[in-house]
Structure 1
Amino acid sequence: MTVHLIAVQAAMRLADYRDAETFAARVLELAERAVAGLDGAPKLIAFPETIGLPLLLTLGPSGSDYGRVAGSGRVTEAAQRLLQTYWRAVLGTAWRFRALGPEALFLARALPAYRAYTAAFAAAARRTGATVVAGSSFLPHIELEAVRGTHIADPRVYNVAYTFAPTGTLLDRTAKRYLTPGLESHLGLSRALPEAQHTFETPVGRVGVAVCLDGFYSSVVDRFDALGAQIVVQPSANFAPWTRPWPPDPSVTEGEAWLAWGLRAHLQGRLHLRYGINPMLVGGLFDLQARGRTSIVCNARLHDAETEGYRGVLKLAETDDQEEIVRVIVPLKPRCRA
């Protein structure tokens, strides 16, 4: 059979997070653009890392805080404004869950952000009939249960990606294992255990999700291949200039390093893995500027391709700072061919 693999290089704009309805409309617009004109073959749409994160700043238990944070020059300033207003609630959350620092703020605002994030992507999956990997957000483990309703079941906060079936039901939650030094490691986020990174069946094949930095680690991709995954989705957000010298090796650029040593490289020679989808975030939020060229890559042993001199690249976004939809239609054969 053939399947459509689609990566959304989405632009981050604070105005899109004004309230839950605005966010849902924005996600739906992107999803409908992603599938426009395609035939009835199974589809997978992948969104970038942290696309749900701004909801933690703009949505609170009492409603929208967009007006409160919109004038901030920095993310830290926006967080300080919220703390000044809701310090009692944050302190109560910190005491209840024994949480410290930014983690307490995330927990105090987790439920409204979770509801808006999951509702938006579930609706997009239903409308488009596609499997949707909904980027990620910083959230604890949240459960829906008859007596307690929607509640925080485990207060540890993760960078977690949700995946929705074409029916709009939740298929999987995959938390990030390897945290980005500095940014994530200072925010009180927890690391996923290796066994939390699993694979799951979808209409486009068996999928594994590696949130950003996880896709650079061979052990993560090893595990997905051993579990029989055919596709790895790597939602990413890179807050560094795409053309800057790469700090570990200044002889190459940031963008060259992603292609040379990232998911494309780790797919080569695999037994089961055929394709990788790496949607990148672009645009600006306060002082954060996201840059990156979205890519769809392949195991060249099973599906030969080359783009811009890189073997195993099916398609690249044209820019590193503009919103784009990157999509391919590819064959999907039985998982194992020795």
Structure 2
Amino acid sequence: MVKNAGFALVQSRFVLSDYLSEENFHNKIRSLFSRVFTADKTGAIRPVIVVFPELTGLWIPVLTGLFKKRNPVEEINRISKVILARLKKTPLKALMSFITGQKFSFAFYESWEESYRIWITPFVEAARRYNTYVCPGSMFMPQRDWEVSKGAFTVSKRIYNTSLLISPKGKVIGVSRKVNITGDEKKLGIKEGSVEDLFPLHTEIGKIGTLVCLDGFYDSLVARLDNFGCELVIQPSANPKKWLQIPRRGIKITQEEEWLSFGIGGLVQERESIVYALNPMGVSAVFNHRDEGRSSAWVNLSLKRGRTDRHEIKIAGGRPDNSNIDYKKYRGLYGIAESCDGEEVVYGGF
């Protein structure tokens, strides 16, 4: 990894107004990057990679049709009143059904090109402006390609939870599709990505691999990247469950303890190649859909022991709120967000 350089995990909080127009969305992303590169926060360490959470582009395909409305706020209010009862249980399904009248994945396919452009543009601009690698999180979209006689085209109508890596030149240099999808994603018509497509990318700051959310809990996928010589694993995530509550029956620990105990932080320990793991969490609140979580950074102690034998856990703003956990018991935990539902940035050096 590059010396005297670092990372920034953006624990972003998107709300409905951020998706009411293309301008609103772009302004939101620009403001987040401006916050990331505020000099008094980054200090002497310059972020050479900025990572966003899973599904930053989730609502763009759903609301793309509303961007062109004369009064999108009025249209949103009309829709929300009609389907309010259904939104409480399944907000995404209700919106997709009401707006498109089609199968849920249909809207993602039909609007993919415009939605992709709206989503990716501000991240590409920021990568160039700040001379940094950027993972924009992820978005539901089909597999795309480009050929001189066709231009941009879709390989199939299958929709994937897709993450990207953008170089400092503004070039998309890698694509990762989520392999292990959730039950809610299946209901929306999202398909599983292929394990064969998971491999690290060779960059100027080292070999970088991406495991989208749930994929980062699978030892086999972490081992695969490690065997390919991956040095940095990024895990864009979004968690719709209450972070500080016990998630389900039969489990005696909170969602936070489950993530910290059995997530990617522990899985990268004792690996041969992986040195760092970065896990940005989304805390968005759109309609009745809420995400919670604390972004965290991890170091493989077996490869960085000389530096981290007495390492201190860096907590943005101090001790995490509403938590009684002794974070020092988690091997390799390098940094963690203060809040589980507020927007903030977690920094660290390589």
The TM-score normalised by the length of structure 2 is: 0.84
Match of 2:349 in 1: 329
Structure 1: unaligned runs, 5 residues or longer: 85-89, 91-100, 331-338
Write the deviation string for residues 229-255 of structure 1: whole angstroms up to 9, x where unpaired: 111000000000001114375221100
Match of 1:97 in 2: none
* 1:157–1:189 contact (8 Å) kept in structure 2: yes
Distance 2:110 2:55 in 1: 18
TM-superposed CA distance for 1:329, in Å, is 1.1
- Aligned 1:135-154 pairs, distance under 5 A: 135-154=137-156
What amino acid is aligned across from residue 69 of structure 1 in structure 2? I
TM-superposed CA distance for 1:22, in Å, is 2.0
- Aligned 1:272-311 pairs, distance under 5 A: 272-303=273-304, 304=308, 305=311, 307=313, 308-309=327-328, 310-311=330-331
Distance 1:165 1:115 in 2: 17
Structure 2: unaligned runs, 5 residues or longer: 314-326
Match of 1:334 in 2: none
Match of 1:263 in 2: 264
Secondary structure of 1:251 counterpart: coil
Match of 1:211 in 2: 212
Distance 2:303 2:5 in 1: 15
1:48 equivalent to 2:50? Answer no
Distance 1:218 1:2 in 2: 30
* 1:60–1:113 contact (8 Å) kept in structure 2: no
TM-superposed CA distance for 1:136, in Å, is 0.3
Q: Which structure's residues are more often strand, by fraction?
A: 1
Distance 1:216 1:79 in 2: 29
Distance 1:251 1:77 in 2: 33
Deviating above 6 A after TM superposition, structure 1's stretches of 4 or more consecutive aligned residues are none
Write the deviation string for residues 6-33 of structure 1: whole angstroms up to 9, x where unpaired: 1000002111112222212211211221
What amino acid is aligned across from residue 348 of structure 2 in structure 1? V
TM-superposed CA distance for 1:302, in Å, is 2.0
- Aligned 1:229-268 pairs, distance under 5 A: 229-247=230-248, 249-268=250-269
Distance 2:45 2:245 in 1: 41
Secondary structure of 1:166 counterpart: coil
* 2:296–2:337 contact (8 Å) kept in structure 1: yes
Distance 1:315 1:12 in 2: 23
* 1:50–1:136 contact (8 Å) kept in structure 2: yes
1:317 equivalent to 2:319? Answer no
TM-superposed CA distance for 1:69, in Å, is 3.5
Match of 1:63 in 2: 68
* 1:69–1:81 contact (8 Å) kept in structure 2: no
What amino acid is aligned across from residue 222 of structure 2 in structure 1? V
Secondary structure of 1:126 counterpart: helix
* Percent identity for Structure 1 against Structure 2: 30
The TM-score normalised by the length of structure 1 is: 0.87
1:82 equivalent to 2:87? Answer no
Structure 1 residue corresponding to 2:115, chosen from 113, 116, 136: 113
Match of 2:19 in 1: 17
Q: Which structure's residues are more often helix, by fraction?
A: 2
RMSD, aligned CA:
2.0
1:161 equivalent to 2:163? Answer yes
Secondary structure of 1:23 counterpart: helix
* 2:105–2:188 contact (8 Å) kept in structure 1: yes
Distance 1:280 1:294 in 2: 5
Distance 2:21 2:332 in 1: 40
Greater shift in the superposed pair: 104-113 or 215-224? 104-113
What amino acid is aligned across from residue 26 of structure 2 in structure 1? A
Greater shift in the superposed pair: 200-209 or 245-254? 245-254
Distance 2:202 2:34 in 1: 23
